[in-house]
Chain A
C-alpha cells in the first residue's frame, strides 16, 4: 500500500488512527502498541504475504539474539546475527546481481533465480543490525517483544525509513501519555503529511514526466540533445529530493498523528556548501547508520589518516551498493567517496571557505549541487551507457547558442523548483513557523487561512491521485 493512494488516505489511515486511540483510551498504551503492530502487519502484508512471514521471522530471530546480547555481550553471537541479516539481504537483493557477474567473469550461463525483493528489507535489516550492535555494546536494556516488534514494523517508517534506532522509539512507547489523543499532534501530523504529499504528487511526479523519457532514451543508447541532457539530469536531482524527502515528511507526519516522533531525514541538502555538508543534510538517518555502525566499526579516524580516507571511501561504496544491486550504484557511491576525499583534502590544506562571502557561498552551493547532480546520472540510469549518454550529452555542443538553449529549455522550466530548494524553508523549518497557528499565537483569520491552505493542498493532491497522476516512491525499490 502506498501513502499516496486514496485507499491509504481515506480508509486505512482513519481506521488505524481511530482503532489506535479508541483502544489505547479504553485499554491503555500497551493495547495501543498492539493495535499499531496489527495495523503495520496488515499494511505490509497487503503487498506480499510471504514477505510478511520473512519479516516476522526476522523480527523474532533478531529479538532473541538481541535479548541474549543484552544479557551477556558475545562477539560470536553478534557476528552470527550480522551475517544472518546480511545473508538474507544478499539473497533477496544481490543474488541475481552476483549470478550476472559470475556469468560474465567466467563466461558461463547460470540461470537467474528471479528472487523478488521484499519491500523495505534494506531498511528493516539496517534497523535490526543497529539493534544487535547496540545490544552488544550494552547500550540497550530490558525491552519487551511488543516494543521491539513495533520498532521494526511501525508502518510509517517500515518501507523507506527514516532508519530509526531502538533507543529513539522505545522510550516513547513506555511514556504514560502514549496513546492519549492530542489534537496538536494530529494537526502537526496532518500538516506535515500534507506537505509531503504535495511534494510527492505535485512536484516530484511532475518532474518524473520529464525525467523518465529522457533516461529511457539514454538507457537505450539513443542520442540526446544538450538541453535535454541538462533537463533530464537536473530534473532528476530535484525529483529524487522532492520524492524521498516527501516520503520522510509523510512518515514523520504519520508518526506524529500517533504521537510518535521519528527523526528528521532531510535538512535542505541542496543548500549544502560542500559534500561533507551535503551528507549531513541528505538521508541523515542513513548517514548516521553508516557512520555509527560501519565507519566507526572499520576504525573511523582512529587508525591514521590514510586508513580514515580508505574507510570513508569504503563506507560510500557500501552505501552505494546498499541502494541497489547494480554497478551504477557502486560508481555513484565511489564518486561521492571521491568527492568526500577531495573535500577533506581541501579543508586540510586550504582550509574551509564556507560562508566567507556571499559570492563564495553561492558558488559553493552551485558547485556542490552540480557535483551531486553529476553523480545522480549513475544512480538513475539503468545502464552504464545510459549514464554516460546523459553525461556526454551535457557537453555535446551542437550550436553556438548552446548556453541560451540550456537556459531556455532546461533551467527556465525548472526555475520554480530551484526557487523552492534554495529560497524556501524546508518542511521542518516550515513546521516550526506554523507552530504559532496551533498555539493560539496567531490571529484567527490567519489561522483559518493556513487551515484552508492545508485542506486545499490535501484535497488537490487527492484529486491528482484520483486522476492517476502519481507513482511509487523512488526509494521503494531499495
Chain B
C-alpha cells in the first residue's frame, strides 16, 4: 500500500470515527439523561409532584394559587389545595386555574396571591413550560419523555454536575399532602455587610417598572376574577409577609407601595376581599429568607388566611 492510499484510508477512518462517534455519544447522553431525569430528578421535583397532586382529583373546597410565597408560605389544611409554584407568572396561574376548573370539581373559593414581586420584569419573560399541555391533560406522566420538558432540559447540565458530585436530588423541603412546600430554617436576624448586599440585590431584582400597569396584570386579574364569578366561585386576594429587612430596603423604592395600593384599588373595584399581610411579622423566626416564610411562619399565616378568606367568602 503506498503512502497516499494509506493516508486516504486513515483520513476516511478518522472522519467516520469522529462523525459516527459523535452521534453515538450524543445519543447515549440523551438516553442517560432520560434515565437521570426519570429515576433521580423527577421523583423529587416539585413541579411533577404538584402535577401528580393536580391529576389526583382530590375534591377540595378551596384552591390556592401563587408563586413561591404561596407555595412555601401557605400550609394548606385538609380541604384546601395549594397549587402555588415558585416563579409562576400571572399568565401561568391563569392557565392553571382555568384548566383546573375545566377538569376538576369546582371549589367554593380560590385564594389568589398577588404581590409586588410578581410585577418584576423578569417574571414576564420566563414561560418555558407549556402550561396548557401540562395542566390541560395533553401531557402524560406515563408516556412522555422527560428530556422534552423544556424546563428539565434546560437544567440537564446542572443535574449531571449534581449527580456526579453526589449531592443527590432529595429536596430538603417537605412537600405536604395538600401541596405546600415547607422549609424548616429560621433566619437569625443578624446581617453581615454581605448579607445586606444580597438582600438589597434581591429587592432590586423584584423592583417593578414604573409603568407596571402596562404589564396587563390588571386585565389578566380582572379576567380571572370575572371568570371565577361567572362560575360561582369566590375569590380572595392575599399578599404574603416579607421580613423587616426586606421591607426596609423596599421602602426605598416607591413602586412597592404603589403596587400595594393599586392591588387594594383593584380588589375594591372588582369587589373581592383583599388581605395584605406584607408587614404583619417583625420576628425573623417566621422567615427562611428575606422574603419567604418558613414552616413556622407558614403555619401561622395559614390560619389567618383560612380564617380571613374562607370566613369572608
Q: Which residues of A contact B (CB under 8 A)?
A: 183-184, 186-187, 190-191, 194, 217, 220, 222-223, 225, 398-399, 437-440, 447-448, 451-452, 454-456, 458-460, 462-464, 466-469
Contacts and interface: CB of A to CB of B under 8 A. Distances in A.
B38 interface: no
Given A398-B193, A439-B7, A455-B22, A466 B14 contact: no
Given A440-B6, A454-B18, A463-B156, 11 more contacts: A223-B200, A398-B193, A438-B11, A451-B18, A451-B21, A455-B22, A459-B23, A460-B29, A466-B26, A466-B153, A467-B155
18 contacts: A183-B8, A187-B11, A190-B15, A217-B204, A440-B3, A447-B10, A451-B17, A451-B21, A452-B17, A455-B17, A459-B21, A460-B29, A463-B33, A464-B157, A467-B153, A467-B154, A467-B155, A469-B157
Most buried by B among A190, A438, A439, A468: A468
A438 B14 contact: yes
B153 A183 contact: no
A103 to B, nearest CB: 21
Interface residues of B, number: 34
B130 to A, nearest CB: 15
Q: Which of B22, B25, B33, B193 is packed against the most chain A CB atoms within 10 Å?
A: B22
B58 interface: no
A403 B233 CA distance: 61
A455 B25 contact: yes
B19 interface: yes
Contacts of B197: 225
Contacts of A399: 193
Interface of B: 3, 6-8, 10-12, 14-15, 17-26, 29-30, 33, 147, 150, 153-157, 193, 197, 200-201, 204
A439 B201 CA distance: 56
B29 A437 contact: no
A308 B147 CA distance: 60
B30 A463 contact: yes
A456 B25 contact: yes
Contact of A462 (B26, B147, B150, B204): B26
B11 A184 contact: yes
Contacts of B15: 183, 186-187, 190
Contact of A468 (B8, B23, B25, B154): B154
Contacts of A469: 154, 157
Nearest to B21: A455
Contacts of B29: 459-460, 463
B7 A440 contact: yes
B54 to A, nearest CB: 25
Contacts of A183: 8, 11-12, 14-15
A220 B24 CA distance: 46
A225 B20 CA distance: 48
A468 B6 CA distance: 41
A237 to B, nearest CB: 23
A437 B14 contact: yes
B82 to A, nearest CB: 29
A217 B204 CA distance: 9
B18 A468 contact: no
Contacts of A467: 153-157
A82 B106 CA distance: 70
From A183, A191, A454, A469, name the one whose CB has the most chain B CB atoms within 10 angstroms: A183
Given A437-B14, A439-B7, A466 B154 contact: no
A392 to B, nearest CB: 16
A74 to B, nearest CB: 49
A242 B156 CA distance: 23
B22 A459 contact: yes
B21 A452 contact: yes
A222 B198 CA distance: 12
Nearest to B8: A183
Given A438-B14, A447-B10, A451-B18, A466 B30 contact: yes
Contact of B10 (A223, A398, A438): A438
Contacts of A225: 197
A86 to B, nearest CB: 36
A181 to B, nearest CB: 10
B22 A448 contact: no
A69 B19 CA distance: 46
A398 B33 CA distance: 45
A448 B6 contact: no
Specify which of B8, B10, B19, B201 lies most central, judged by the most chain A CB atoms within 10 Å of its CB. Answer: B10
